[in-house]
Amino acid sequence: MGKTLTEIAQMLKDADKKVQLIYAFNGVGKTRLSREFKELVAPKTEGEEAEEEKPIKVLYYNAFTEDLFYWDNDLDEDKNRKLIIHPNNFTDWIFKDQGQESNVITHFQHYTNDKLTPSFNEDFNEITFSLERGDDNKIDNIKISKGEESCLIWCVCFSLIKLIVDTLNEPEPANRDTNQFDELEYIFIDDPVSSLDENHLIELAVNIAELIKSSKSDIKFIITTHNPLFYNVLYNELELKKKNKQGNECCYLLKKEDNGTYELNGKLGDSNKSFSYHLYLRSVLQEAVDDNKIEKYHFMLLRNLYEKTANFLDYPQWSDLLPDDKKTYYNRIIQFTSHSTLSNEAIPEPTEPEKNTLKLLLKHLVDKNYYKEE
């Protein structure tokens, strides 16, 4: 029987494991799960004074973290664009007390562009951005992309998490730089891979794994992602295969049922094998076909299924698996429906010809025996 997200959060809390890794498609409820978990571990207290006195039990990074950062676009002059930081105890500690702005900048430039430079004001509540042009000139007060903005916010959080781990690795509380994290129990990281290319995505996963392995305190980590590559790197770097073999199951697939409830199913192996990512993709697509509930995002899943299958079978291009008679046509259909940025393509309901194309191409994979269960 399905469970609520609150019940799923309780399962994660009761598991009492150092690391729990969860895979779920976008839109299933990863961010909502992180909020439910936070409310379960550290419920809100009425009154600002009581809130300040409450010990920190859980730290999380998710879409709500990004809400602490918002743009002032200088609509009157259109010149002095800046990213505003809503300050809190965490940002004050990381910037004012620990002086971590240089590390944040280094991380950000490494994952984006070494010529793209954030500059913090003295109060650390505003950030402006400049871009070097390869000569003595530079472009000031630019507005960065949403992906770059998400990367910057993650770099702030990563620097904070690293500081917390290093601080709590000091066994004697009296010798720590701060005691505000002495009662921290959980760090919940929800999908920090927005807009990263594969090389940086892998490096990010390795860095997170190294940070977790370096932690000597009792902090427990929960990580959710929609990205199978990110999942696999963490799975291998954290040696979760050994933990699963020892009966200490810590890898899951979060699935949303049609009735609005959820299932958290334990998974052994990485996403390419026992995790059955390919099988799950196929089941999602087949269910959409059987129920006649095909939506635009199913074309993205179909392309993903073709890519994974081609990679497994060592085909140079995923399009090599398409039917020979209309290979170019079907390639364009999948490309257009899975990557279109036109506003009129945001409608979730595909046309009947598009639905028939998806049905045909899914059936083609199955009938050609490219993709079969083991």
Same domain, 313 and 259: no
The answer as to whether 33 is a domain residue is yes
The answer as to whether 63 is a domain residue is no
71, 83 contact by CB (below 8 A): yes
The C-alpha atoms of residue 102 and residue 108 are separated, in whole angstroms, by 10
Which has the higher per-residue pLDDT, 249 or 210?
210
Same domain, 221 and 301: no
Same domain, 249 and 306: no
**How many percent of the chain have pLDDT more than 90?**
38
Same domain, 260 and 295: no
Same domain, 207 and 257: yes
Same domain, 329 and 188: no
Residue 152, pLDDT > 90, answer yes
pLDDT tens for residues 304-314?
888 777 766 66
Which of 58-62, 184-188, 330-334, 337-341 shows the lowest per-residue confidence on average (mean pLDDT)? 337-341
323, 364 contact by CB (below 8 A): yes
Alpha helix stretches (DSSP H) within 25-143: 30-41, 48-53, 89-91, 101-111
Q: Given this model, what pLDDT does residue 276 score?
A: 54
Whole-number mean pLDDT of the chain?
A: 83
Return the H-helix or E-strand segment holding 307. helix 297-312
Q: Residues 318, 319, 321, CA angle at the centre, nearest 5°?
A: 80
pLDDT tens for residues 252-294?
889 888 788 999 988 766 655 544 566 777 888 888 899 888 8
pLDDT tens for residues 91-132?
888 899 889 999 999 999 998 999 999 999 999 999 999 998
The C-alpha atoms of residue 92 and residue 85 are separated, in whole angstroms, by 11
Same domain, 335 and 302: yes
Q: Which of 208, 243, 269 is where one domain is finished? A: 269
Q: Which of 244, 269, 294 is where one domain is finished? A: 269
| E strand intervals along the chain | 19-23, 58-61, 69-72, 82-85, 116-120, 126-132, 138-139, 186-190, 220-225, 251-256, 262-266
The CATH number of whichever domain residue 195 belongs to comes to 3.40.50
Same domain, 297 and 356: yes
Same domain, 253 and 190: yes
Tell me which amino acid residue 169 is.
N
Q: Given this model, what pLDDT does residue 329 score?
A: 67
Q: What is the mean pLDDT of residues 39-65?
A: 76
The answer as to whether 177 is a domain residue is no
Residue in the structure block whose two tokens are 């009492």? 16
The answer as to whether 311 is a domain residue is yes
Which has the higher per-residue pLDDT, 324 or 354?
354
81, 74 contact by CB (below 8 A): yes
Phi-psi region of 16 (alpha: psi -120 to 50; beta: other; left: phi over 0): left
The C-alpha atoms of residue 267 and residue 280 are separated, in whole angstroms, by 12
Same domain, 46 and 192: yes
Q: What is the mean pLDDT of residues 28-40?
A: 92
Closest alpha carbon to 131 in 112, 146, 147: 112
Which of 142-151, 273-282, 335-344 shows the lowest per-residue confidence on average (mean pLDDT)? 335-344
Q: Which of 269, 293, 316 is where one domain is finished? A: 269
**How many percent of the chain have pLDDT more than 70?**
82
The answer as to whether 98 is a domain residue is no
Which of 51-60, 151-160, 291-300 shows the lowest per-residue confidence on average (mean pLDDT)? 51-60
Residue 196, pLDDT > 60, answer yes
Q: Given this model, what pLDDT does residue 46 score?
A: 61
Which of 130-144, 235-249, 269-283, 311-325 shows the lowest per-residue confidence on average (mean pLDDT)? 269-283
Q: Given this model, what pLDDT does residue 50 score?
A: 45
The answer as to whether 115 is a domain residue is no
Model confidence band, residue 370 (pLDDT cutoffs 50, 70, 90): low
The C-alpha atoms of residue 283 and residue 43 are separated, in whole angstroms, by 37
Q: What is the mean pLDDT of residues 239-252?
A: 74
Query: Which range of residues forms the domain containing residue 29?
Result: 1-57+183-269
Residue 143, pLDDT > 60, answer yes
Q: Given this model, what pLDDT does residue 348 score?
A: 56
Q: Given this model, what pLDDT does residue 85 score?
A: 94
The C-alpha atoms of residue 74 and residue 156 are separated, in whole angstroms, by 24
Q: What is the mean pLDDT of residues 43-66?
A: 74
Same domain, 323 and 244: no
Q: How many domains does the chain have?
A: 2
The answer as to whether 257 is a domain residue is yes
The answer as to whether 363 is a domain residue is yes
The C-alpha atoms of residue 332 and residue 357 are separated, in whole angstroms, by 11
CA 49 centroid distance within chain: 33
Same domain, 358 and 284: yes
